[in-house]
Structure 1
Amino acid sequence: MKVREGAPEDRGWLVAIIFFILGIGTLLPWNFFMTASMYFNERLSTAEGSNTSEWSNGTVTPRKDYYFNNWMTLLSQLPLLLFTFLNSFLYQRISEKVRIAGSLVFILICFLFTAILVKIPMDQDRFFYVTMATIWFINSFGAVLQGSLFGLVGLLPQKYSSVFMSGQGLAGTFAALAMIFAIASKADKEAAALGYFITPCVGTIITLLSYMLLPRLDFARYYLKKDKSSCYEVETANQLLDRDLSADENGKRNGSLSNDPPPNTDENKQAFVTLEHGSTCDKKLSVMEVFKKIWVMAFCVTFVFTVTLSVFPAVTVDVKTAYGKKWEPYFISVCCFLIFNVMDWIGRSVTSFVCWPPKESRVFPALVVSRVIFIPLLMMCNVQERSNFPVLFHNDAAFAALMIVFSVSSGYCVCLSMSYAPQFVEPKDGETAGALMTFFLALGLSLGAALSFPLRAVV
């Protein structure tokens, strides 16, 4: 969608900045939750009230194996997929403000609760179950929030979708930096954990305030409320025409009406102009009708995330450095997480300036499918322990180079898919397209996470 003629100016790119913040806000809480995995393993490795266990190179082996990382992955993807799917159908029954603002408020409450738990002694089993419940609720509300915001940004010109996606990419960069600082920090582990959860609370509040500012901006009101005003115009036009036709019929019955056209009033002129040029207030397409128009982009975003999540981080996190012990604690944090998130963000941001291939081109789906080559290439890096595949890339630089291309292509293809999809439908169906694309995004994440288990076992 291009900027419409007569649209107000986005002064100071304020609307773009707000959607950038909203993009960060959708993924920032969960990314910070992921970086706190060391804290959760610490709590699960000690008895109630005991702080005797030590971290070793950023990892902890719990006394009882809770399979925390496996359950965390499962209970994050299931609600994400479920509630994104429900949001595709139920968004028309629940107002946008309730879905977005309500989700942000509940996410804030979940993180405040998690921060409070840092100071509350609790036995391991109870802490595990409470944490799993928190993960479920955060991802449930996060799915509704993300789907609603994708639908909202789909009503604006394409570059705003790119800005929103760029913000999401930057959220992961913040999380990766937090992980590095945590490893380098000598601070008390409990204080560090408290800081982890307070930070996303502040970020969520800023996101909520930014969303509340959006309706006050002329540029945002023009695009987000235009459909309603168009509906009013065509309804008025129809009423005027019905009134004239009714008068014409009554006149014919009474034999007192000539064959002259109806009065050429300003109201009637506007009515006929409105009907002649059409209106955006036509009946919205069904979910299936919208899907038929955007299915190629839906496939692309699903396939991109399936490839990405199948090896990152399940396989890449087990790559070992070829250099000394001083570099080893930082190797995965830098070469895996930081490089991926920074380059993924760059890939998303590039689409604000370059959009190639075009949305109708068959080259784009082919480019997406070609990324499958990264699966065997990353599996042949120095992943340890391994039993089947040979190690083809021993050097750290080779692994880092693969991660750069892998992550840039992921961010670029995802952002193009999400930006192109609303362009295949009318503006009135942009929100439905955005909600559907978010569901297929979540589907790709789930498929990739499921595929990661057998791929890691094969290595």
Structure 2
Amino acid sequence: MSESYKKRDTEEVVEEQTLVKETNGTRIVAKASESMRLSPGWKRTNKSDDESNGKDGVLDHNDLDLNPPNDRMKFLYVTMVLHGIGVLMPWNMFLNANEYFQDVKLKDNLYFKSNYMFYLTLTAQLPNLFFNWFNVFFSTGGDIGKRIVWGLVVEAVIFLFTIGMAMADTENQTTLFFWVTMGSVFLLNTANGIYQNSIYGMAAKLPGKYTGAIVLGSNLSGIIATIIGMITRGITKNYTSAAIYYFITALFVILACIDTYFSLPLNKYFRYHERLEKKQQIKTEISSRKEKIPFLMIIKQCWLQLLCVFLLFFVTLTIFPGIQMNILRQEDSTFFIDSKKYVNFMCFLSFNITAFLGSLLATLVQWPSKKYLIVPISLRLLYIPAFMFFCNYAPPDFVRHLPILYHNDWVYAILSLTMGFSSGYFSSLAMMNCGKCVEPRYATVAGKLAGAALSSGIFAGILTSMGIQKVMFSPK
């Protein structure tokens, strides 16, 4: 059975359609005499962005409310992991290209060569720290999407410029090259700070495991950078060629982040959670249209988790990479890794792999609860003196003034593995907990605060690592 009826669209054009009853339901089709045409786009029907499905049709919100979508094939989760890789890729690649800068481009200037890591850290972390906090208090009403995209675009342009600088002959322009490099690092990390803070804010709209996915990706970023470093060192002894490989890899990761970000509006699961947040925002506006974001209240509700984030990254960055990359194999040791590969395996590879595994476990098991998470994170402070006095911490060209209390490479191996694993596991828990401590409408702000606490911990840890070296050692 069927019956015909008239339906008028938004342009007042009459279109005849047929209501067809089938065994599996009812559908509306055009008559055979007319060509099939989709209903008008959401802009022509005066529907909001919230009602659009990202294409030309209209999203059935009633159906979504009754049947919330799933993250099909874990697409959104994998996307967040990729963005986690992108967040730390700039820092990891410049860190791995250390030999290229010190032994190739800056070899003729002892001051720049010996102080390269200090200036790199300062120019990289200061803008990251500043813009993370700035983005919390002055950009919360803006478009997170635009900040993510422009941050990634700026990073891509700077990496292209860095590749060009690697190919250029700067032998007679060492001073100019150094300051231009520091300037590009400053701009790169300014963009990265905005990107990092915004991506954590966006993830806070989603269930907690998606924030954990970003942390997981950040740890995976270190593994990728370490493996690429080991492969390139095996392929070529040319530091410039190796550095170009690093920067090209970073460029491809950033382009992949841009591409996957633009695919998010096509993901029904992502749109569903965006809609939930918008509905909450609309309710808030109706109840109090002039309400300001209560930063103090939000901080009061999640301060313990913010402290966890800060302490965790403070301890981790105090030790890794500053102290660990200067821990050498004990003399006359029978340890199974030889001295040439010792730093790559015991510092970079062991930390990144164990941190990745810790982040992975955090997606399956969440213990302890957010109330008691501060206990194991506070105990991690003991790692700092342990690495200082129970490992062969001996930076080259420096004389150590304080004794090593116990000489054994296996002690260092245990400390390295447990420190990396606890860093990945507890960092994921702390970042996931921040958004859970506040009302859903303030989850984005809490996520941004967590990103800012993370940057603060990194900056404080790196400065502490440098201070420890100044206290314990003096130049030869």
> Which category describes the TM-score, using the shorter chain as reference length?
0.7 to 0.9
Residue correspondence of structure 1 range 333-344 to structure 2 within 5 A: 333-344=344-355
TM value normalised by structure 2: 0.79
Residue 171 of structure 1 and its aligned partner are, at CA, apart by 0.2
Q: Distance in 1 between matches of 2:434 and 2:346?
A: 32
Q: Does 1:25 align with 2:34?
A: no
Which range is displaced more, 86-95 or 440-449?
86-95
Q: Is the 8 A contact 1:336 1:400 kept in 2?
A: no
Residue by residue over 1:228-281, the C-alpha shift from the partner in whole angstroms, topping out at 9 and shown as x without a partner, is 24555898xx7xxxxxxxxxxxxxxxxxxxxxxxxxxxxxxxxxxxxxxxx999
Q: Contact conserved, 1:303 with 1:444, CA < 8 A, in 2?
A: yes
| 1: CA distance, partners of 2:377 / 2:289 | 35
Alignment of 1:64-143 (within 5 A): 65=113, 67-122=115-170, 123-143=173-193
Q: Identify the residue that residue 330 of structure 1 maps to in structure 2.
A: 341
Q: Corresponding residue for 2:364? A: 353
Alignment of 1:262-277 (within 5 A): none
Whole-angstrom distance in 1 between the partners of 2:241 and 2:284: 60
Q: What are the equivalent positions in structure 2 for 1:215-294 lying under 5 Å apart?
A: 215-229=265-279, 283=291, 285-294=293-302
Residue 209 of structure 2: aligned partner: 159
Residues 456, 5 of structure 1: alpha-carbon distance in 2 compared, 3 angstrom cutoff:
farther
For the residue of structure 1 that corresponds to 2:365, the secondary structure is coil
Closer, same or farther in 2 for the Cα pair 1:290/1:179, shift >3 Å? same
Distance 1:64 1:145 in 2: 30
* Structure 1 consecutive aligned stretches of length 4 or more whose deviation exceeds 6 Å: 279-282
Give the direction of change, closer, same or farther, for the CA distance of 1:285–1:234 in structure 2 (3 Å limit): closer
CA displacement 1:116-159 (0-9 Å, x = unmatched): 11121221001000110111111111111111011111111111
1:375 to 380, 384, 389: 384
Contact 1:35 1:178 in 2 (8 A): no
Relative distance call for 1:6 and 1:327 in structure 2 (3 A) is same
Would the alpha carbon gap of residues 299 and 185 (structure 1) be closer, same or farther in structure 2, given more than 3 Å must change? same
Equivalent position of 1:299 in the other structure: 307
Structure 2 equivalent of residue 275 of structure 1: none
**1:416 matched residue in structure 2:** 429
CA contact (8 A) 1:180 1:330 kept: no
**TM-score of the aligned structures, taking structure 1 as reference length:** 0.81
Q: Judging changes above 3 Å, is the alpha-carbon distance between structure 1 residues 353 and 227 closer, same or farther for their aligned structure 2 residues?
A: same
Judging changes above 3 Å, is the alpha-carbon distance between structure 1 residues 370 and 439 closer, same or farther for their aligned structure 2 residues?
same
Alpha carbons of structure 1 residues 314 and 288: separation in structure 2 relative to 1, 3 Å: same
**Unmatched 5+ stretches in structure 2:** 1-64
One-letter amino acid of the counterpart of residue 457, structure 1: K
Please identify which structure carries the higher strand content. Answer: 2
CA shift, 1:400, in A, is 1.4
8 Å contact kept, 1:311–1:455:
no
Q: Provide the residue aligned with 1:43 in structure 2.
A: 104
Structure of greater relative contact order (alpha carbons < 8 Å, 6+ residues apart): 1
More deviation, 12-21/303-312? 303-312
- Asked if the contact 2:112–2:178 (Cα under 8 Å) also holds between the matched residues in 1, the reply is no
Contact 1:25/1:207 (<8 A) preserved: yes
- Deviation, 1:75, is 1.1
Q: Distance in 2 between matches of 1:411 and 1:281?
A: 41
Question: Counterpart of 2:373 in 1: which secondary structure?
Answer: helix
User: For residues 280 and 301 of structure 2, what CA distance do their matches in structure 1 show?
Assistant: 24
1:89, CA displacement in angstroms? 1.4
SS of the residue aligned with 1:225? helix
Shift of 1:402: 0.7
What secondary structure sits across from 1:118 in the alignment?
helix
Distance 1:439 1:19 in 2: 18
| Residues 298, 106 of structure 1: alpha-carbon distance in 2 compared, 3 angstrom cutoff | same
Indicate how the Cα distance of structure 1 residues 458 and 160 shifts in structure 2: closer, same or farther if over 3 A, else same: same
Residues 1:14 and 2:61 are matched in the alignment? no
Asked if the contact 1:41–1:62 (Cα under 8 Å) also holds between the matched residues in 2, the reply is: no
Residue 46 and residue 306 in structure 1: after superposition, are their counterparts in 2 closer, same or farther (change >3 A)? closer
Opposite residue 301 of structure 1, the aligned amino acid is V
